[in-house]
Structure 1
Amino acid sequence: MKHSNISVFIPHIGCPHQCSFCDQRTISGAQHAPDGDEVREICSKALSEVREPENTEIAFFGGSFTAVPRDYMIELLTAASEFVGEGKFSGIRCSTRPDCISDEVLEILKKYGVTAIELGAQSMDDTVLEANERGHSAQDVAKAGRLIKAHGFELGLQMMTGLYKSSRESDIATADAIIGICPDTVRIYPVVVLDGTKLADYYRRGEYRMMPLDDMVGMCAELLEKFEKNGIRVIKCGLHASEFVEHDMVAGYYHPAFRELCESRIYLKKIEAFAENCGYIRIAVPARDISRAVGHKKSNITYMKSKGVEVKIVPSADDKIEIIERR
């Protein structure tokens, strides 16, 4: 069942650090901090427009929600909680830093109807965290994650791939460490270099070098498979299209259909395995997956043709992936 959020941005309020990659005003497009009445207005408008409010959460994103002044946090939660319950939204979601979680904070969140907490882990490599001025350790992520789960919240972890001083190996190790924490959901954010950040300075000076987009797609495809095989739902892979991101982007792993590129790469691996030692193959896939199997701009079909294999993709009758003909 598809899940959606009503996003309320709290731009950079509460964050005790300015990370190398971060300019929340650019990412969220919001510089104004909403008050309780504005939250009520956002929620009221959304409640009249959303088709399935029972599958929708109010989401406080942007800054570190649990690090804002307590009175302000409670003001926002009080407003949001009025729109949670029977015939209204299913709950409240917030994002924060691993070092801004405590028993006291979690009790407040529970009281006001928060159901899910997402932690910006970004990396589970302390060298990478320090290089990007995160101000917390990998151990802080693990500790906060355990505490959140112990209090009965849904746990989400966010990781960034391609960070300054990271590598393919450290990103894969981060995914493995995240799996060890057993979150319910994960978001994968390939790095986008935004103007006005330290990362942009490193990039312009040649201190920060990026792998080709195609290599990043391949790695994130591997991460998608890894998380899903471990029962962890990947609720986002790639940054949302936004005029602020596109306008301020200096460099980065951005594509408007990044996740589909990754899912197409996963399909390509399956097609290659099916097509070993043959020149023609017809494969049935679920109708919803045909574009992924064919690949962006028919890239999978074109690639296999360059290897001497003609591939035909057709919709399956029973929602399965299977070989129909092979010769």
Structure 2
Amino acid sequence: MPSALPLGLPAPEDGVLPSAAAEGATERDFGLYVHIPFCSVRCGYCDFNTYTATELGGGASQDAYAGSVLSELALGARALNASGVPARPLSTVFFGGGTPTLLPAEDLAQILRAAAEQWGLTPDAEVTTEANPDSVTPESLRVLKDAGFTRVSFGMQSAVPHVLAVLDRTHSPERVPQAVRWAREAGLKVSLDLIYGTPGESLEDWRVSLATALSYDPDHISAYALIIEEGTKLATRIRRGQVPPIDDDDHADKYALAEEMLTVGGLQWYEVSNWARTPADACRHNLAYWRGGDWWGAGPGAHSHVGGTRWWNVKHPSPYAGALEQGHSPAAGREVLSEEDRYVEDVMLRVRLREGLDTGRLTPAGRRAVAGLIAEGLVEPAAAFAGRLVLTFRGRLLADAVVRRLLPD
């Protein structure tokens, strides 16, 4: 089942933000995230806010979904204007899910056109959609390209059939190169998402997946360690002893193999779990998250952030659509981040980037911790002496521990 929403303060029905949200807005990028909460099958490891046809229930329809999102985009433009937030064109748009490409390509194109009408797009805007390899066709990808999409991120996850079976993935390994070729022919950049550490996946299985992904010559690869979320089918199977538990040492070995093979394959890490062929191939939308940018999140359960105010929408598509039909914001709650909250998040996110964290942003206690991190081989000495905290390979393996050292109680 999808994870629970956070607690927070009530959100106003008109979506208007505190006046402080407008401060410094012109210095921050503005992006749009569009959540498409539909999947043909729920994967066993997934606790995202997604719904299969049997889980939707009454009052929710894939056919009417684009119309609800259009209503939220119009509300968002009005709310930001009423909040005094300066008008800014979108530098990035990201369609995630779920499986965005379960919707007709024309629906996704319609949403993008509406976003451009409400806010505008920068001339070099990055527009991405996630997709399952079995949810696209040459025709649908051409529609997306013609509408202004620039990237597609395919959920490959693994090239090994028995690993895909444990994850409950529906596509066959053979479909991935076909989908990649279609995307290339349409003129789209291609990213591949991989997962390592699946119960029963050997190191050799992971090597096969990495080699196979590299053979498709993608512009970008994300490689994430599998996390077992409570309430998922996979968590139940592990608890019952039907599949083995995950192992931290196994995760470390597989991360090391990913770094080795992806680097040799011509990709460079720019965030702990992400590698790009060139700096221009990095996912700019995600970089904006990690750098503390602003974004409007449209769709059920989507989270937004503007100038230190964060809010999140109701989770189910039915109440989401119902609120918008009444002209109300679908937000379920919000919070205004304190300076301390924003500092903690800034350190937690920026330390994961290859560009590193400006040590001048650290508190005195955080700066005092840097010498010990250098001595333990967790951060690059030369970068630290130049005023940037950049993780070594060992530091990437222990990134959470580095953050705890920089944020002492």
TM range (shorter): 0.5 to 0.7
- Give structure 2 stretches of 5+ with no counterpart: 1-28, 275-288, 291-302, 304-311, 313-347, 356-379, 403-409
Q: How far 1:196 moved relative to its partner?
A: 2.6
Output the CA distance in 2 between the equivalents of 1:173 and 1:262: 26
Name 1:250's counterpart in structure 2: none
Which of the numbers 65, 71, 91 marks the counterpart of 1:37? 71
User: CA offset at residue 135 of structure 1?
Assistant: 1.2
Q: CA RMSD in A?
A: 4.3
- Secondary structure of the 1:138 match is coil
- 3-state DSSP class of the match of 1:292? coil
Q: Does 1:219 align with 2:268?
A: no
Q: How does 1:147-158 map to 2 (within 5 A)?
A: 147-158=182-193
Q: CA deviation at 1:292?
A: 2.0
Matched, 1:25 2:49: yes
| CA distances 1:220-246 after superposition (whole Å, capped 9, x unpaired) | 13313422332335565459999x9xx
Q: How far apart are the structure 2 equivalents of 1:291 and 1:91? A: 26
Deviation at 1:70, TM superposition (A): 5.2
Q: Deviations over 1:46-105 (max 9, x none)?
A: 899799967x31001111111124564343232234368664670311101001111110
Q: Choose from 40, 49, 53 the match for 1:16.
A: 40
Q: Give TM-score scaled by structure 1 length.
A: 0.65
**Residue of structure 2 in register with 1:308 after alignment:** none
Q: Distance in 2 between matches of 1:227 and 1:193?
A: 25
The answer as to 2:16 corresponding to 1:7 is: no
- Taking the aligned partners of 1:39 and 1:115, their CA distance within structure 2 comes to 21
**2:204 aligned residue (145, 150, 169):** 169
Change (3 A) 1:196 1:297: closer
- Which residue of the other structure, out of 357, 360, 382, is the alignment partner of 1:285? 382
**In structure 2, distance between residues paired with 1:182 and 1:84:** 34
Question: Among the aligned pairs, what percent are the same residue?
Answer: 25
Distance 1:64 1:167, change over 3 A: same
Using the TM superposition, give the Cα deviation of residue 207 of structure 1 relative to its aligned residue in structure 2, in angstroms.
Answer: 2.2
**Residues 194 and 222, structure 2, Cα contact 8 Å, conserved in 1:** yes
Q: Secondary structure at the match of 2:49?
A: helix
Letter of the structure 2 residue corresponding to residue 292 of structure 1: L
**What is residue 240 of structure 2 aligned with on the other side?**
205
2:235 aligns to what SS in structure 1?
helix
- Return closer, same or farther for 1:103/1:69 CA change in 2, 3 Å cut-off: closer
Query: Scaled by the length of structure 2, what TM-score is found?
Result: 0.53
2:391 aligns to what SS in structure 1? helix
Distance change >3 Å, CA 37–CA 290, structure 1 → 2: same
Residues 73 and 118 in structure 2, CA contact (< 8 A), matched pair in contact too: no
1:195 aligns with 2:219: no
Alpha carbons 1:62, 1:95 under 8 Å: kept: yes
Structure 1 equivalent of residue 151 of structure 2: 116
